[in-house]
Every structure is written in structure tokens, then in C-alpha cells.
Structure 1
Amino acid sequence: GEAVTSSWFPSGQADEQPYATPVIRTKAKPSDPAYAKRKEHNEGLCGELQRRLSIVKQGGGGKYEELHRKRGKNLVRERIAKIVDAGSDTLEISALAGWEMYGGGIHSGGVICAIGVVGGRECMFIGTDATIKGGVNFPVGYKKWLRAQDIAQQNHLPCIYLIDGGGAKLDGQASGGKGKNPSGRDLSYEGVLPATFVEGGRQFFNQARMSALGIPQIAVVCGMCTAGGAYTPAMCDESIIVQGNGTVYLGGPPLVKAATGEDADEQSLGGAVMHTSKSGTCDHFAPDEDTALAMCREVVENLSGRMPRTSLQNCAAPEPPLYDEESILGVIPESTSIPYDIREVIARIVDGSRFHEFKAKYGPTMICGWAHIEGYPVGILGNNGMLFSEAAIKATHFVQICGKRGTPLVFLHNITGFIIGTTYEQGGITKDGAKMVNAISNVPVPKFSIVCGGSFGAGNYAMCGPAFEPRFTFLWPGAKISVMGGEQAAGVVAIVKQNALKRDGQQPMPPEMEAMLKKPIIDGIESKNSAWHSSAGAFDDGIIDPRSTRRVLAQ
């Protein structure tokens, strides 16, 4: 808070005051066999996460990378690393998008999106990877592009577009063609079908709107920028183009020849010299790529009119949690069906492990309270079981208070959904749940979601799932998201089938037949409700190591 006058203190200055906010005392014991088992399990999941990230960061690899480098080009992540401030981290968005889609090999959906610091200012990078199918657009990559623009607009981040790609995928199909690939995935509709191009205009609409809002738009043309994609640098506030490699045109030489019969020269049609001296489409000429990247830093260093970061009251000096970040792996169970106290997670991500809990004895399946993360005040909502009416009412009250105070909200998901049954419906569970959803939809503060365990059905909505416009949604490797668990879904289908047989006067299914009915349903849902599957489709902002949760939230 703001400093008060020294006249309140007879000595003329305020004494150091001890914190009254209590510390969460962990119950996790490293000597406990269950702790060791959980730690081993989660280390395996984190290892798998790192394995997948190491694969996608190679881009197209092999001969495609070799050809790329022969042209004097950097990989997209290398370009970002050369632009951001030395010694700073980047926060990549949906790095595992496209995993095992389109026949495989479309790492990160062919588009790299990341937040980095340039000249002390956070920026959103969006770059196409020319080592993957020549940098053409795939639906999941385009979904990432739009999501990155959405994040940039919400957070007032300048956008830096690193362009190096061939535009839309003209054959309209994945690399495996029609039918199914060896993994069994149907590839027939995984390309860009003819009518879907209409959605392509959204990126240009976003650019125009952000520029109008004073959010800088900057492009570095490192390679081809063809067809509709040519509007990306043309609609930016400032653009840089690399001599030799960079080209910008609505129709390349093959299309010009096919449409008009003209034999056009690529550089005369859309090269760096032409666009910076004749058409004026691009603003800055760069003799090589490294110079272009340095020029990009120069552009950012000279931006003005920045919307200042919101100043929060009650900021404190950052301090680490009492418990080592490694210990978080020992408190997360091996399965989302095993309950655990979400306070154990809170204790490992908040400053000093201190937590001012709200209504601690009321609605105990919803944990609400205030804390600080790297000095910033936050309100935290975490699940300790199903949502009952009391828990929903408590959460609604807490969210409304945070809205009045301007306190950002952090949601820690581990929820199977709302309690159901005649008694609870008569008690108003639907009405009370609706109040919670309404409050979360309208609270005027930044919201951040971390899916720590399960996030099922309406519980995902109530805990500010992606549909409720949190600033970010990140998943832990063991997280699961679906309308309900496989066993529950199969049970519902079996009951409906049995009731239908009864209405028709037929004999009920024997147990073995019911098991046969359930198995494909369970297998189907369980194979598609993992964090890996969600992130492959870019339904979230990425999977993070639980140990990095505090850092990611602070960033």
C-alpha cells in the first residue's frame, strides 16, 4: 500500500512489522514411500515433456535445416533468441501443437509463438518455420497465430512477425493424403479445405485493430511472404526485409505466369531492393538476416506511447516459497482420481508459502485466499473435491471481492465437476453454479488457469477454462480434460442402452456384453483426454513442468 505519514509513529519512523499472514505447513514427507512413488512418476512425465520439446525445437531437421542454413537463415527460435535481451528467458506458447497430426512432423503446428523481452519491453513473437513444409499454414498453426494475437491484444504486447513461409497449403490435404495414416488418424479433413480460407482474414483484422489501439506491429521478412500473407508486413507499422531471401508478393512467379503469361523475376516482383526503393511496401532494407534481427531491436527501442503496466496496490518484496520447487513432484498423485490437498501446491508457488485463506470452514471443497507471487498480490481458487452449493457460493463471493479490489485471479484446476443428485438439485446446485460462472465471466481482472489434475465438464467452466478468456491456460503433464471420465461416460451410455432395451420389452444386456459396450468408449475418451492431446490441438497455451509454475505465473 501507499506510505503513511511519519506522524503516526512517536519515533518518527515505522518499525519493521512482522507478517500476520500464516504460513502453510506442509504435510508431505520425503521419507514417505507414497511421496517417493509420486516423485518418480512425475519425474517420468516431466522427462517425457522435455523429450517432446527437444524434438519439436529441431523444426524440420535433417536436409530441410541444412538447406535453410545454406541460405544464410536462422531457425525461428534462434531468430527470437537474437532479438530478445541478453540473459532473458522466453515463454513459448503451445510448443507441442500439431504433435502427431497431419501424418506427423508438423512440429509446433509450423508456427512458433513466444513472449520475450526486447529493450526491457515484453513482446509477442509469431514466426513461421520454413523447415516444415516450406512454412505453409496448417489449421492448428493458424489457430496458434490467432491465439498469440489475442494474448498480445489482451496484454498490450507489441507483435513481431518473423515471416518465412509459402502461405496456404494448396493441395488441401495432409501429407498422407486421404484415408488414414499408420497411427489410425483420419487425414481426410486435416488440410486447408477450399472454403476455410475465409478465416484467414482474421489475422489481418487483428493486426489492423491492434495497430489502431496503439499496439505496435512489426515484421521481419526473412523469406517468402506470399499471397494473403503479403498483407502481414504491408499492414505492420514498420517492416524490415532481408536482401536475397525476403520476398513479398500477392502472386509469385508461377502464379503470375499461369494467370498473365508474364515471365516475372522474383526479385523484381517482390525483392528487398524493389520494395524499399520503388513500391515502398517495406520500410527497412537489411543486407542479411542477422542485420535484420538487430534492426528489429532498434525498432522496438524507439517505440513510444506504451500503455503502462497496471500498478497493483499491496505489492511486496518478492521472496521464495519455504519449500523447494522439486518437492512439488512429491505431492502430485499418480492419477487424477486420487485426491490431495491443493494447499500443498499453493505452498510451493506463493511468496513465503503464506496464504490468507477466505471462509476456511465453509464450502471446504473450494479453497480460496490471497497471497503474493513474486511480490504481486493474487487471489487463488483451488479445488479440493467436487463443487457443492456452499463451495460455489463461497467462490462467487471471493471472485466478486477480488474484482472490487482489482486483484488478479489464479485458478488451480483439479475438479471432477459439480455434485449431482436429487437432493443437490432441490438444494439449488445448478443455480449456485450459475452464479459462480456468471461472476467469473464478468470479473474485471486478469485471470490465469493452471490445470494441475483433472478438469472435467462444467467444473472446467466454473474454474475459468479457456472459454472464459483467461489470460493464459497452462497444463501440467499429467492433467486430463474432458466432458467426463471414461468410466462415467461408458456408464451413462450403458444405462441408456439398458433402459432402451427395457422399453422395447427385450432382455437386458448380460454383464459381458455391457463390458464390451463400455470398453471402446472408455478407451476412446481416455486416449483423448490427456494434456498431450489437448495441447496438440492448441486447446490451451501449452504444457509446463509443475516446478516452473511459479515462474510462469510471475512472467
Structure 2
Amino acid sequence: MLNMALKNLLNLLNFKGCHLNIRVNGQFHQYVHINRPIYQLTAVLTARPGNCLMFSTSASIQNKPFPVLQNVDINASVMPKFSASQTQMEDAVTNYQKLLSLAVQGGGEKAIKRQRMQRKLLAEERLSLLLDDESDFLELSPLAGMGMDYGNVPRAGLITGIGLVNGVYCMLLINDATVKGGTVYPITLKKQLRAQEIAEQNHLPCVYVIDSGGGYLPLQAEIFPDKNHGGRVFYNEAILSAKGIPQIAVVCGSCTAGGAYIPVMANEAIIINKIGRIFLGGPPLVKAATGEVITADDLGGAVLHSTVSGCTDHYADTEEEAFAICKDGVASFNISSNPTPEEWDAPQWDSQELIGLAPTNIDDYNVYRILARVIDGSRFHEFKALYGTSVVTGFCRIEGYLVGVVANKGEITGDGALKGAHFITLCSDRSIPLVFLQNSFHHSDSKEPLSGEQLGETVKNHGKMLSALTLASVPKLTVVVGGSYGMNNYLMAGRSMSPNFLFVWPSAKIGAMELQSMVTHMSEAGPSSAQSHEKEVKDKLSREMSAVFCSSRLWDDGIIVPQDTRQVLGRCLRIVSQTSRGRDVKVMSQGGQTERGTSRVIRM
């Protein structure tokens, strides 16, 4: 009844597009007529006997920036491809959710029971005690560690993510002792280093919740000696502190061997009596080396480290007390956040339709349909719309934040790269975050090959876009919505270009080149026996290019279902907008002069 009255009202007033604010019997409603919003229309409706609606209206022109995208409906001509894509995506989502449900179970019932017997909380329960709002927690790479050569390591034995602790966005790193006793595998270490990298990039305080038995020694060659192995965790802690990024550690379990340095290198450390212990070698090692029998608490317990060694700063009798102290510690970090937008327009097209808009080939891809379901009000100000059309660039808002969008439609041509470089530089100069939507399917093989001169020009322009991307001093958020192949992966802020965050849709594919092209190339280049095993090669490559395989190896920061894209991007934009205050300190030498006669500034 109400919708019909509104429709008649719009026809009567002959408005091409408007926003309606409606009061029905004293209750306020908002109705958005899908088109370019030019007018702000207020209608007061009163219900009368006999199902009649009486209304009075007033209208005023409201200029909103950026035009609404056009021709992005799911019409009859699009529906067959939409349905096929939806079926494919739903299968991919089902597979992803099945693996995710397995990963979040941790080490299983037996390990959980053992944790309970030790009177320790589970990792998820510790997370709940820390967070202001569990629904606002952005977990990173939950599939990491699944299907590894050395077996499944659910969540890599470590929960990492970003959430509000006393109103401050923090990077949380929480060991899950139900997974292999908290043992550090190579994938665990990789996940921990990535969390620290994100914290440094986005200036996020770190909270370490430690309950770990140390490194998995049979794989020590993959976790100890190299630059990005175990020692890098401590290096990163020092760098974070020097940059004024606070770190706090809660020791609520074993903190053994190299892991003992994590709490002592944090700015503050909290230890829990009877369950928290810090030592380089436990009681068995002491007995083997010296013959002395000593308890774990006497060797490295809460009383010792809080009263004698001074390794910890706070003593707690319970985990609940420890996390309360931790939250108070975060409140003392002196963090200031930029104001966040208080209101914004929802997209004028349904975000749920994104599940059928994932591209299966280049002919299916309409980036404007995706944008219309992600950005505020579906309003987009395109830049260089008629030039370099392999790349779409333009300005819009996502949950109130102004962003620059770079989206590729297949292979990036030389003109497209030149346009991309120009736009990236523009955004960097204006301090506007960049959002990259990757889809790098190749064009048809019937396309005429480029001449040597054209190839040279393309490579040169690719280099310009890579340089602009590398040097851009603004946050970069990447979402792989389709294929991500070869050089296009790099040009569109793939992992090697260090975006602040990188997410993939469940049906995404990532590889050096498209699957069939790679199989053909390997068959032609390899021995004749390789041709007879083409199916096995194709199956192996297909598995290794899948989103699940990539995410389990931390080539991204997680898989997101298409309809959550806007929400995840909005949350990331809130996170990157947070800044930290620090104070400049001059480091003095023993003689009272600054080192080398000049000031060395450390952010503390």
C-alpha cells in the first residue's frame, strides 16, 4: 500500500530521481528511488479510514557529488550468465565455508578437553575478553595452514585480526594451544610476521596473547636460520617500538625458548599465576643439563618474573584479571583517531547480487555492475573514461570514505597502464586511499599480436604504473574478484606490491598465467612424456591456483564472500584512518652529547 502510494507520488511529481523521507502515522521511514538523486523530498502521510493515505510534500534540490552509475541492472540479457556465475560462486562459497568450519574447531575435542583440564581459556574466549565488539573483529587468514605438506595446522595455530580494544583498533595475535600444543610451524611464523607487517603499515598497536611450546624442531630449517624466519619477530618488535607503535603481551601459558623474548621486548607484559611461564628451557632441560629438579613456576612463573627478574610488569591471578589489565594498558597508549564518517548512502543496487557477478571470462565482466553494489549511493566519478579502457579509474565513497578505484578489465594495455599511473599519482598527491579490483582474464587468442614497437611501448608504460604504485604513499586495498595473472597481478597491487590488505573472492584464480595457457606452455616446453600427463598437470595447477590454496599459504589476507566486500572495505578504511601520537626523544651518548653530534629521533 505504502510503496504504491509512493510510486504514484513520484509519477505525479515527475521526478527522475529522489530521496524520500516519509513520516507515516508519526513513524519515520526512508525510501530511495533508484536513479540519480537530485531532489530531497519530504512526505508526511496520514492513514485514514477506508485505507486512504493523505500526504503533504515539500521538495528541495540537493546536489550530491558524483553521478549514479547507469545500465547496471540484472536484466534479461544478463540473466543467463548471471545464473551460471551464481551457481559457480555458490559452489566455491560452500567449499570455503566447509574448510572454514573445520579450521575454527582448532585442535579438536581432545585438545580442547586438555586445555580445560589445565584451567586455561580457549583462544576464542580470550579474544572475547579483549574485544569491545566481537562483531567488529576482522579476522585475517583463517584458512592459513590448511592442507600443508606437513598436514593441517588449523588457523596456523594462531588467531590474528584487528578489533577495537577500549576504543582503539589493535592487531591481536593469539596462540591457539589446542593446535599442536601451540607449536610454531613455518606457516605459523609466516602468519605472525604478516600480522606485524600489517601493524607497522597501518600503525596499529599489537596485543600478543602467548601460549606456545616453541618451534617445531623437525622443521627447524624452515623456521630458524633465514631472514624472514623466527628472529624476524623480535626484529619487528624493536622496529614497531621505535616507530611509536605500542605493544603489550599477555603470558597465559608456556613461553619457551625464542618465544620468551616476545613479552620482554613488548612495551608491557602481563603474566598469569600458575599458568603463565617464561623460560628458555623448561624443567626437563634443566634436569638433563644439571641434574636439578625444579618446578615450572619456580623456574619461570609469575611470582619469579614479577618480583625478582622484572621480565613482566603486571601480575594477575586469573585470565579475566589479566585481560582487564591489558585493556587498561591499551587505554594508556595515548592513541588519537581521525573522525569517522557518521552517515552515508547505501548502494542503490542490492549487494546480495554480487554473488552472481563474479567473472568467469572477459566477456562476462562488467566492473560497473560490481561497483554499483559496493560504493555509496552507487555514485562514481570516472576518470579518463574514454582512454585506456582496459583499466577503469574514478572516485567514489565507501561507507563515507573518499577512495580512488582502479579496476582492470583483462590484460592491461599500454594506454591503460599510462592511465593507471596518472590516476594513482593523483590519489597519492591528494592523500586518497586506493581500492584495486583485480580481474586479469586474457583476451581471445584471435586478437592480433602486438608489433615490437607496440610491445616496447606497453612494457615501458607498465613500468610507469609499477613505479607510481610502489611510490604511492596512501593506503592500498586489493580485492581479487576474478583472475589475477602474470604482470597484471603486480600492476594491480598484488602481494609483492605490499598493499595494506589483500582479499580474494572464493572463485578467484591466481597464477603466472591462465590455466590452459600454462598447461599448453608446459606441454610444448617439456619432454614428450609431459603431454601424456597433461590431465595430472592440469589438475595440480588448477588446485594450486585456487583461492583456497592461495589463502592457506598466506598469499592473501583472507577469502571474503562477494556480498561482504563493501563491509570489509569499509572496516579496512576505518582501520587505516587511525593514527597514533608519539613524542620525539633525542638519544644522548654517555658524554652528554647527541650521537655523532646530531639528534637521532626515535618515536616512542
Q: Flag whether TM exceeds 0.5 (same fold).
A: yes
Q: Aligned partners of 1:295, 1:545: CA distance in 2, in Å? A: 36
Q: Aligned partners of 1:34, 1:416: CA distance in 2, in Å? A: 16
Supply the AA of the counterpart residue of 2:426. I
1:532 corresponds to which of 548, 556, 568: 548
- Tell me the percent identity: 41
Q: Aligned partners of 1:417, 1:235: CA distance in 2, in Å? A: 49
The structure with the larger Rg is: 2
Counterpart contact for 2:123–2:175, Cα < 8 Å: yes
SS in 2 for 1:379: strand
Which of the pair is proportionally richer in strand?
A: 2
2:401 corresponds to which of 376, 390, 413: 376
Supply the AA of the counterpart residue of 2:451. T
Supply the AA of the counterpart residue of 2:73. K
2:66 corresponds to which of 17, 21, 31: 21
For the structure 1 residues 77 and 525, does the alpha-carbon distance in structure 2 shift closer, same or farther, using more than 3 Å as the test?
same
> Is 2:457 the partner of 1:431?
no
> Is 2:309 the partner of 1:279?
yes
- 1:451 aligned partner: 480
Which whole-Å deviations, capped at 9, do the CAs of 1:49-91 have from their partners, x for residues lacking one? 2222221111102110011022222221221121110464211
Aligned length: 506
Q: CA deviation at 1:376?
A: 0.4
Supply the AA of the counterpart residue of 1:264. I
Counterpart contact for 1:21–1:355, Cα < 8 Å: yes
For the structure 1 residues 137 and 97, does the alpha-carbon distance in structure 2 shift closer, same or farther, using more than 3 Å as the test?
same
- 1:105 aligned partner: 152
Show the 5 A alignment for 1:139-150: 139-150=186-197
Q: CA deviation at 1:133?
A: 1.0
Q: Aligned partners of 2:461, 2:450: CA distance in 1, in Å? A: 15
Unpaired runs of at least 5, structure 2: 1-59, 572-604
Q: CA deviation at 1:470?
A: 0.5
> Is 2:429 the partner of 1:404?
yes
Which whole-Å deviations, capped at 9, do the CAs of 1:460-501 have from their partners, x for residues lacking one? 000011111100111110001000122112222344469xxx
Supply the AA of the counterpart residue of 1:253. P
- 1:48 aligned partner: 95
> Is 2:540 the partner of 1:521?
no
Q: CA deviation at 1:144?
A: 0.6
SS in 2 for 1:171: helix
Counterpart contact for 2:442–2:514, Cα < 8 Å: no
- 1:350 aligned partner: 375
SS in 2 for 1:415: coil
For the structure 1 residues 307 and 265, does the alpha-carbon distance in structure 2 shift closer, same or farther, using more than 3 Å as the test?
same
2:140 corresponds to which of 83, 93, 108: 93
2:110 corresponds to which of 49, 57, 63: 63
2:237 corresponds to which of 183, 193, 207: 207
- 2:347 aligned partner: 321
Supply the AA of the counterpart residue of 1:28. I
Counterpart contact for 2:156–2:187, Cα < 8 Å: yes
Supply the AA of the counterpart residue of 2:346. P
Q: Aligned partners of 2:497, 2:227: CA distance in 1, in Å? A: 27
> Is 2:461 the partner of 1:471?
no
Which whole-Å deviations, capped at 9, do the CAs of 1:424-444 have from their partners, x for residues lacking one? 653511111111111111111
Which whole-Å deviations, capped at 9, do the CAs of 1:171-228 have from their partners, x for residues lacking one? 338xxxxxxxxxxxxxxxxx74764598211111111111122111101111000011
Q: Aligned partners of 1:121, 1:300: CA distance in 2, in Å? A: 7
Q: Aligned partners of 1:200, 1:514: CA distance in 2, in Å? A: 39
Q: Aligned partners of 1:42, 1:64: CA distance in 2, in Å? A: 34
- 1:415 aligned partner: 440
For the structure 1 residues 440 and 417, does the alpha-carbon distance in structure 2 shift closer, same or farther, using more than 3 Å as the test?
farther
Counterpart contact for 1:477–1:531, Cα < 8 Å: yes
Counterpart contact for 1:28–1:330, Cα < 8 Å: no
SS in 1 for 2:116: helix
For the structure 1 residues 194 and 89, does the alpha-carbon distance in structure 2 shift closer, same or farther, using more than 3 Å as the test?
closer
Which whole-Å deviations, capped at 9, do the CAs of 1:258-286 have from their partners, x for residues lacking one? 22222222101111111111111111111
Q: Aligned partners of 2:452, 2:534: CA distance in 1, in Å? A: 28
SS in 2 for 1:199: coil
- 1:340 aligned partner: 365
Q: State TM-score, norm by structure 1.
A: 0.86
Q: CA deviation at 1:539?
A: 1.2
Q: Aligned partners of 2:167, 2:160: CA distance in 1, in Å? A: 19
Supply the AA of the counterpart residue of 1:400. T
- 2:569 aligned partner: 553
| Worse overlay, 337-346 or 230-239 | 337-346
Unpaired runs of at least 5, structure 1: 1-14, 174-190, 499-508
RMSD: 2.4
